Chains A and B, each alone.
Chain A
């Protein structure tokens, strides 16, 4: 599914190297988690994979089902099946959530040479998916993320994911700012999307999220590299002892 090889990335504006040779392979149908201290490069990796401006790839590659992600515009990556759930979803006043969702769905269909979804089918689909995420009609009508609580914003991200049906989902600290109930709701939404053809990369600071979204593989990232990979028990170890032991062990 996703294959990252020796990825080196620096900030475009300054000579600051963030990723220093990341290697990561994610098989179809699996859930990978990435943990790591602040500033280790986790969010940068999610941005670089989804095509945000401001970063320069100095070496390495990233492919999605063999296609070169780094050569594509952000919208092409999305159409190819990549999705990033933002840590801080953006508010867009004046653009209705429904309009935004339909534009996104149809843009991707258009890019893939598929016909647009009819207004009726779209409405039916969005209502059905919104219901399981406890997103009411009012939230669908409001401008994108404007006046949404932290929990509502994250649920809205998962709704977009459910509507766009990507192959490769990256969740950037989706648990940040969520209370226990909201985390459960969001996790249930993610779990409902798990299937053999879809993979997840879950970036988090806390084991707690991984109680709900059970990972197959856990990676520890530090100083721009993945320094350790293991099973779910690795996250428990981090939760218990912090990163010091792992960092010491690698160094």
Chain B
């Protein structure tokens, strides 16, 4: 074990040597504490239990591996048709010119990079707090490193129903950009926000988002991670839900060498609802593809509902990973926990690695999980073709059919339609 601990520390030392840690203004204390946390943990290696399926070395390396810039060509800017407020980050740096004025009814928005100049007591109480709480029982060193080293991000406080969705747009314009962003979202009691995220952000992207939803608050999150073949990303969402709060998150991932999306959700108040869903599409013929969804949901209160719906479509050597856990603490009675992870393998070269976990200490709960992996249904394919639908188009319809449960987790129908259009575009480009 000493060798593993040593390897973690060596990786951390090299990584820290390549970073300039910001002083951080109001986040200074939180950053110092995070640095101490990551120093105690070191950075992950393949020998860590939660990194067995996904090699973290390119995420922990001192520098980002270069990633070719990607031209989306025919694709219209995502969510452009929605009435929304956009914040643009170019290689991790906020671009005020390209962004909308940070004014929105019911919402206060500030930049993390300017947090030292603003009166942001609420952010002081959130920055690094949920991340720190989420380190137990599973260590998440990349998130602690993020809290210590994040250079920018959005601090969003929602006090009423937001007039429009807030859209974080991530652009990737430098081949070697190594981006560390940290967002905080505080939903006050009864307030409501839809947050959109799109784009690749950089060659390598380390992102943490902490979301604190107060009693009766509602948070909807829809993310599209960018089609760049070479990009790498390690993202964390830490959420805490008070009584009656709602949290719904959906992520579409198409392409990318390596994506690790972690969601750590604490259902702390009674009657709260947390749904996390994802659809990932990987085509190994355009480059290596590994997509990893790692989820940890803690039911710490009564009558909580959680749903995890993760679907992966893999072809030509792509790899999918799912590690999902539901923890029901003593006293979290009447919990309703559900988890499904499925992969559709479009050929024989792909692999799907799944580790579902349930840990239940309350006796009056309903928890279920399922995991499947399989090929397209020949009978269904023949049925569609017998109606005149060409082979590739029929495959496309069946892929959409496979993903339907995950897409259905998006409540807004306009956004849902846009996600379906993106999927159709991807399917049309990745035939055969």
Enumerate chain A interface residues (CB-CB to B < 8 A). Answer: 50-53, 73-75, 77-79, 83-84, 86, 89-90, 92-95, 99-100, 103-105, 107-108, 111, 143, 160, 164
- A53-B378, A103-B393, A107-B393 as given contacts; A94 in contact with B386, CB under 8 Å: no
- A100-B397, A103-B397, A107-B393 as given contacts; A93 in contact with B404, CB under 8 Å: yes
- A100-B397, A107-B393 as given contacts; A94 in contact with B388, CB under 8 Å: no
- A53-B378, A86-B383 as given contacts; A104 in contact with B388, CB under 8 Å: yes
| A-B Cβ contacts below 8 A, count | 82
B391 at the A/B interface (Cβ < 8 Å)?
yes
Please, which residue of chain B has its CB at the minimum distance from the CB of A108? B388
- A94-B404, A107-B388, A107-B390 as given contacts; A52 in contact with B397, CB under 8 Å: no
**Which residues of chain B are within 8 angstroms of A160 by Cβ–Cβ distance?**
387
B402 at the A/B interface (Cβ < 8 Å)?
yes
Whole-angstrom CA separation of A73 from B359 in the bound complex: 51
Whole-angstrom CA separation of A95 from B381 in the bound complex: 13
Please, which residue of chain A has its CB at the minimum distance from the CB of B382? A52
B397 pairs with A95, CB closer than 8 A = yes
Whole-angstrom CA separation of A39 from B149 in the bound complex: 71
Please, which residue of chain A has its CB at the minimum distance from the CB of B401? A94
- CB < 8 Å neighbour of B387 from A52, A53, A94, A104: A104
Please, which residue of chain A has its CB at the minimum distance from the CB of B394? A75
In the complex, besides A79-B388, A103-B397, 17 extra interface pairs with C-beta distance below 8 angstroms are: A51-B382, A73-B391, A74-B382, A75-B388, A75-B391, A78-B388, A92-B398, A94-B401, A94-B402, A94-B404, A94-B405, A100-B384, A104-B389, A107-B388, A107-B390, A143-B401, A160-B387
Whole-angstrom CA separation of A108 from B386 in the bound complex: 10
Whole-angstrom CA separation of A174 from B65 in the bound complex: 60
Whole-angstrom CA separation of A42 from B7 in the bound complex: 67
**Which residues of chain A are within 8 angstroms of B403 by Cβ–Cβ distance?**
94
Please, which residue of chain A has its CB at the minimum distance from the CB of B399? A94
The 7 closest A-B pairs by CB, nearest first: A94-B404, A78-B388, A108-B388, A74-B385, A104-B387, A94-B401, A90-B383
- CB < 8 Å neighbour of A90 from B379, B393, B408: B379
**Which residues of chain B are within 8 angstroms of A104 by Cβ–Cβ distance?**
384, 387-389
Enumerate chain B interface residues (CB-CB to A < 8 A). Answer: 377-380, 382-391, 393-394, 397-398, 400-405, 407-408
A75 pairs with B398, CB closer than 8 A = no
B400 pairs with A78, CB closer than 8 A = no
**Which residues of chain A are within 8 angstroms of B382 by Cβ–Cβ distance?**
51-53, 74
**Which residues of chain B are within 8 angstroms of A78 by Cβ–Cβ distance?**
385-388
Which one of B394, B402, B403 has the highest number of Cβ atoms from chain A below 10 Å of its Cβ? B394
Question: Secondary structure at chain B's binding surface: helix, strand, loop or mixed?
Answer: helix
A92 pairs with B397, CB closer than 8 A = yes
**Which residues of chain B are within 8 angstroms of A75 by Cβ–Cβ distance?**
385-391, 394
Whole-angstrom CA separation of A92 from B381 in the bound complex: 10
Whole-angstrom CA separation of A108 from B377 in the bound complex: 22
Please, which residue of chain B has its CB at the minimum distance from the CB of A166? B388
Please, which residue of chain B has its CB at the minimum distance from the CB of A103? B389
Whole-angstrom CA separation of A100 from B393 in the bound complex: 11
- A75-B391, A103-B397, A107-B393 as given contacts; A92 in contact with B386, CB under 8 Å: no
**Which residues of chain B are within 8 angstroms of A89 by Cβ–Cβ distance?**
383
Whole-angstrom CA separation of A83 from B383 in the bound complex: 11
Whole-angstrom CA separation of A244 from B83 in the bound complex: 74
**Which residues of chain A are within 8 angstroms of B394 by Cβ–Cβ distance?**
75
A73 pairs with B397, CB closer than 8 A = no
Whole-angstrom CA separation of A164 from B388 in the bound complex: 9
Q: Give the Cβ gap from B217 to chain A, nearest Cβ, in Å.
A: 30
Whole-angstrom CA separation of A88 from B402 in the bound complex: 20
Whole-angstrom CA separation of A26 from B402 in the bound complex: 40
Whole-angstrom CA separation of A53 from B380 in the bound complex: 12
Which one of B380, B405, B408 has the highest number of Cβ atoms from chain A below 10 Å of its Cβ? B380
Q: Give the Cβ gap from A225 to chain B, nearest Cβ, in Å.
A: 25
- A73-B391, A92-B380, A94-B405 as given contacts; A51 in contact with B400, CB under 8 Å: no
**Which residues of chain A are within 8 angstroms of B390 by Cβ–Cβ distance?**
75, 107, 111
Whole-angstrom CA separation of A50 from B203 in the bound complex: 49
A90 pairs with B380, CB closer than 8 A = yes
Whole-angstrom CA separation of A103 from B394 in the bound complex: 9
Which one of A53, A83, A86, A103 has the highest number of Cβ atoms from chain B below 10 Å of its Cβ? A103
Whole-angstrom CA separation of A105 from B398 in the bound complex: 17
Please, which residue of chain A has its CB at the minimum distance from the CB of B389? A107
A73 pairs with B400, CB closer than 8 A = no
Whole-angstrom CA separation of A79 from B386 in the bound complex: 9
Q: Give the Cβ gap from B276 to chain A, nearest Cβ, in Å.
A: 19
Q: Give the Cβ gap from B54 to chain A, nearest Cβ, in Å.
A: 29
